Structure 1
Amino acid sequence: MSQRYSRILSRIVRSPFEKRRPMSDTLSPTTLRTEAAALWRLAWPVLIGQLATVGMGVADVAMTGHTSAAELAAVSLGASIWSIIIVTVSGTMMAINSVVAHEVGAGAFGTIPHSVRQALWKGLGVGVVAMLLANLATLLFDHLLLDDAVNARASLFVHIISLGLPAFAAHRALYGYSTSINQTKPVMVIALLGLAFNVLVNWLLIFGHLGLPKLGGVGCAVATAACMWLMLAAMVAWIRHAPAYRQTYPFTHWEWPHWPEIRAMLRLGLPIGVTYFAEVSAFGAVSLLVARFGVVEVSAHQIALNFASLVFMVPLSFGIGLITRVGQAMGENKPERARFAAWIGVAMSLAFALLSALFIAVFRHQIAAAYTSDPAVRALCAHLLLFAALFQLSDAAQVAASCAIRGYKVTRQPMQIQVLAFWVFALPLGCVLGLAPSWAPLAPAAPMAASGFWIGLVLGLTIAAVLLTMSLHRLSVQRLRGA
């Protein structure tokens, strides 16, 4: 049976011009298992680290919710800006993953320290720019007709938490370096350390325990900003002392910025940042548009989106591992192995997505009940979770394919596809179905509210999955022909 599956997969992995060549040992059941195991070893610590990072935001909202509604509103508003900024920064810094993975594959270990030092300079610049943009974004609060006290607290939250952005960007540079040399467990351990620190300092500062001032939601901002600097310090300390980093140790001497290399990293990283911004801002726009339909609609939407985001961490972790696997193979000038690794990663993501889709569809009522006891919210949330189940396969395929493409050091095409999928198709269709404007020729008779927006998201993710998968196929074949 395993040989039969191997033959089927070989038809997918091999390029068209290889049809007359004998099947390579690369496609044997043993090597299939070996590649899958290698990707899993990279992905599972990243997964736990991602969940721990998401857990910081969850802890902020959950703990502030026990103070007052005004404090919770301020933190929620501030966190909406913070989440968009850090996701964009994270994507922009991801160029170092591809750069170092290629250098590892090529055996160019002597150039890795230089690349990491330049990535740190880039991180410092990106972090400072992000800090300025976050503070400017608080001007949006003046146009939301907020209570003056909530506006002031939300703005103060952003002003304080933004102080952690330079540390966050520098940490992501070292994060990408570590994962690209196959060291993902430090990422997991440091993220868990950050989560524990964040929860402890939240407890101290939100509620004023142990004689410390009671800061409410602002305490969350202080805790998270301090946590970013702690995680950076912990990452530096780990790299300094762990033997695995000796061959590529980046802190041997001081080095000034080398602008041509930083510009090259920005050319790789900025399209990824724009891609992440397009996706998260589209989801954020949907949340704002759904809010006009009342508490039940917006609550059900947020719950369904929160659970879908947690499940998404698994294929995202596979994707981060794929950047390393594909990048290292291309660095070795082995495009056949890069293609093989890419499609194994896509297949593993789809396999998980099939299980998660079945789980969500079957247990959607229980999932909704775990979040809320309100019958109306539970019923609508269970309905929206059907859409979440429906887009599991396309969501997993698009993130795996886009990360595999980045492993080839190609980032602009995924950006163009994602912007097209979310801002040209998903959001406009969601507005037509959800809002039912009278001027739209295909608008329904009555607004579909949250359901209409989720239909748009399903379409957008499907378009992204199809186009990115086709793009990965063409790119991998081109690299094979070029070799």
Structure 2
Amino acid sequence: MTVRQQIRPVLTLALPLIAAELGWMSMGIVDTVMVGHMQNPALSISAAALGQVLYNTLAFGIAGVLLSLDTYLSQSHGAGRYDEANRWLYHGLILAAVLAAVLYSIIAAAPLFMTRLPIDARVLTGAKAFLRSLNWGTPTLFLYFTLRRYLQAFNHVRPIAAALITANLCNVVGNWLLIYGHSWGPIHIPALGVTGAGLATSISRVYLALFLVVAIWRVEHSHNYGLRSMLRHIESSRLSRLAFLGAPAGAQIFVEISIFGLVTYLIGTMGPLPLAGHEIALNCASFTFMVPFAISAAAAVRVGQAIGRQTPDEAAAAGWAAILLGASCMATFSAVLFLVPHTIARAFTPDQSVIAAAVPLLLVAAAFQFFDGLQITATGALRGAGNTHAGLIVQIIGYWLIGLPVGYILGFRSHHGAVGLWLGLCAGLIVAGTALTTIWSRTTKSLASKSLVA
């Protein structure tokens, strides 16, 4: 199949996932917007920013191990081995429970170490309260991560989108009730501020997991994939294979998100105002990133299914179609960020000083959108082919060996502040996008040679 022929099936699978990922990211944006309308918005946004970055860095890095399910589930589905896919789901749930316990323990202990950070004490107090309330949703968050991998590998992506869209409504209502507080006669809900934002997100994640449990129950009754009759004994070899393949994928996500976490910390030492501007720009960049991130998941599924069917030429075309779609979307977002940065920043807060701090960072974000789209979609295509190591190596080189030193020199030595640090991130993304696209190109040549031999 040609790349043009693969665009439609990749897009058909990706569109509900895009809605889901945008819905996922909208939760964090809604939290930022709603705490941004409290008194002293710079302080409130900074506290939520610090808590979100710390939690997301650890959560997505640890949960990233579960991305190995994309490879095994999609290849089993492509080969028609539903019993095999069900066994992978069962062991994925066991692994998810272990990983959730690890994350919960780390987040619970985090406030003990945060007190030593050279950041405004008021920001730290709010961030610790936000983290504690956010941690209640950790177990159901990992359940959601696991169940959605099964649904998307079996091409049932609409329930995932529906879950995220409705969970956002739950989060908005929860934020409105818990951040500001309300009273109706004898009923009184206290104003919890940033703590209320964390609790609303946790409640929404419980809802997410329950929604997908019901969705899988309905899918099983409609299609009879054999979930009810699958074997339920634990195979240590499967757990080790999931962990071995997923560890580099999780490490790659951790490397990528942790660099933003470190930049958040470094900007936090500059004061609440630069940190508030950074949080707005980071929310926007993360929101646009969700589109190619969803396409990346579709790429992993389509490439994996094609390899399971032993049609490597189809796998190559699916990967290139995903990369083309991801890069095109991000080029469009780049134009939007470049043309209306003030309007975007004003949507988060009316505070002019915070807006002024955010706008230059939004312009830097516009510069790296295209390369961000390249690197994440190429990563998904490689994951579908069973390669989770290339992304990790490239991210370490791009972000930590190139991006961070460049950002530190520009930010602190050249006194460009937060903008200098973001320019370092831009350099790292350019390297990662170029390198991973090149690696996928070489992978497609390997797949083509296998097709020729067949």
TM over 0.5: yes
Say if 2:398 and 2:431, in contact at 8 Å, map to a contact too: yes
After superposition, give the CA deviation of every residue in 1:235-256 in whole Å (9 maximum; x if it has no partner): 1111112368634242446724
Contact 2:54/2:261 (<8 A) preserved: no
Match runs of 1:159-170 below 5 Å: 159-170=132-143
Pick the aligned partner of 2:418 from 450, 454, 474: 450
Partner of 1:111, secondary structure, is helix
What displacement does 1:371 show? Answer: 4.2
Which position in structure 2 is the counterpart of 1:316? 293
Q: Give the stretch that moved more between structures: 110-119 or 85-94.
A: 85-94
Could you tell me how far apart the structure 1 residues matched to 2:323 and 2:349 are?
34
Q: Which residue of 2 aligns with 1:47?
A: 18
Provide TM-score, normalisation by structure 2.
Answer: 0.90
C-alpha displacement at 1:432, in angstroms?
Answer: 1.0
Secondary structure at the counterpart of residue 321 of structure 1: helix
**Does the Cα contact within 8 Å between 1:52 and 1:195 map onto a contact in 2?**
yes
2:80 aligned with 1:107: yes
Matched, 1:352 2:329: yes
**1:152 and 1:170 mapped to 2: Cα distance?**
30
Q: Distance in 2 between matches of 1:238 and 1:410?
A: 30
Unaligned runs of 5+ in 1: 1-25, 437-445
Go from structure 1 to structure 2 and tell me whether the alpha carbon gap of 1:425 and 1:241 turns closer, same or farther (over 3 Å shift).
Answer: same
Q: Does 1:270 align with 2:247?
A: yes
- Which residue of the partner structure matches residue 402 of structure 2? 425
SS of the aligned residue for 1:453 comes to helix
The match for 1:125 is 98
State the Cα distance separating 1:159 from its structure 2 match.
Answer: 3.2
CA distance in 1, matches of 2:356, 2:137: 39
Q: C-alpha offsets along residues 444-482 of structure 1, whole Å, 9 cap, x if unaligned?
A: xx4122222222112100110111111112222223334
State the Cα distance separating 1:199 from its structure 2 match: 2.4
Asked if the contact 1:384–1:451 (Cα under 8 Å) also holds between the matched residues in 2, the reply is: yes
For structure 2, the residue ranges without an aligned partner over 5 or more in a row are none
- Distance between the aligned counterparts of 1:64 and 1:156, measured in 2? 14
Output aligned runs, 1:204-223, within 5 Å.
204-206=177-179, 207-210=181-184, 211-214=187-190, 216=192, 217-223=194-200
Higher RCO, Cα 8 Å, sep 6+: 2
Output the CA distance in 2 between the equivalents of 1:80 and 1:362: 27
Q: Confirm or deny that 1:95 pairs with 2:68.
A: yes
Give TM-score scaled by structure 1 length. 0.84
- SS state at 2:83 partner: coil
Q: Report the Cα distance in structure 2 between the residues aligned to 1:175 and 1:305, rounded to whole angstroms.
A: 25
CA contact (8 A) 2:399 2:428 kept: yes
How far has the Cα of 1:58 moved from its partner? 2.4
Partners of 1:404 and 1:341 in 2: how far apart?
Answer: 8
Which residue in 1 is equivalent to 2:436?
468
Partners of 1:150 and 1:465 in 2: CA distance: 34
User: What percentage of aligned pairs have identical amino acids?
Assistant: 26
Query: Cα gap change, 1:327/1:198 in structure 2, threshold over 3 Å: closer, same or farther?
Result: same
Amino acid at match of 1:132: S
In the alignment, which of 149, 161, 179 is matched to residue 152 of structure 2?
Answer: 179
CA distance in 2, matches of 1:352, 1:100: 27
Alignment deviations for residues 149-177 of structure 1 (CA, whole Å, 9 cap, x no partner): 76566434433432322221121111011
Distance 2:231 2:190 in 1: 42
Secondary structure of 2:82's partner? coil
Alignment equivalent of 1:197, drawn from 148, 162, 170: 170
Closer, same or farther in 2 for the Cα pair 1:251/1:200, shift >3 Å? farther
Contact 2:408/2:420 (8 A) holds in 1: yes
Mapped contact 1:112–1:248 kept (Cα < 8 A): no
Contact 2:182 2:189 in 1 (8 A): yes
Between the aligned partners of 1:390 and 1:457, the Cα distance in structure 2 is 11
Q: In 1, distance between residues paired with 2:76 and 2:31?
A: 39
Cα pair 1:109 1:247 within 8 Å, conserved:
no
The alpha-carbon deviation at position 146 of structure 1 amounts to 6.5
- Correspondent of 1:459 among 413, 424, 427: 427
Distance 1:77 1:363, change over 3 A: closer
* Number of the residue aligned with 1:246: 223
Match of 1:335 among 312, 318, 322: 312
Match of 1:232 in 2: 209
Distance 1:356 1:218, change over 3 A: closer
CA displacement at 1:120 relative to structure 2: 0.7
Distance 1:337 1:351, change over 3 A: same
Query: Offset at 1:66?
Result: 4.9
Report the Cα offset of residue 264 of structure 1: 0.6
Q: In the superposition, relative to structure 1, how do residues 397 and 73 fare at CA in structure 2: closer, same or farther (>3 Å)?
A: closer
Q: CA RMSD in A?
A: 2.6
Residues 403-423 of structure 1: CA deviation (Å, up to 9, x unaligned):
110011111121111121111
SS in 1 for 2:137: helix
Query: Residue 296 of structure 1: CA displacement?
Result: 5.0
Query: Per-residue CA shift, 1:204-256, capped at 9, x if unaligned?
Result: 33315452542603333333323322221211111112368634242446724
Which stretch shifts more, 206-215 or 308-317? 206-215
Q: Which amino acid aligns with 1:331?
A: G
- Verify: 1:434 aligned to 2:405, yes or no: no
In structure 1, what is the equivalent of residue 109 of structure 2?
Answer: 136
Number of the residue aligned with 1:480: 448
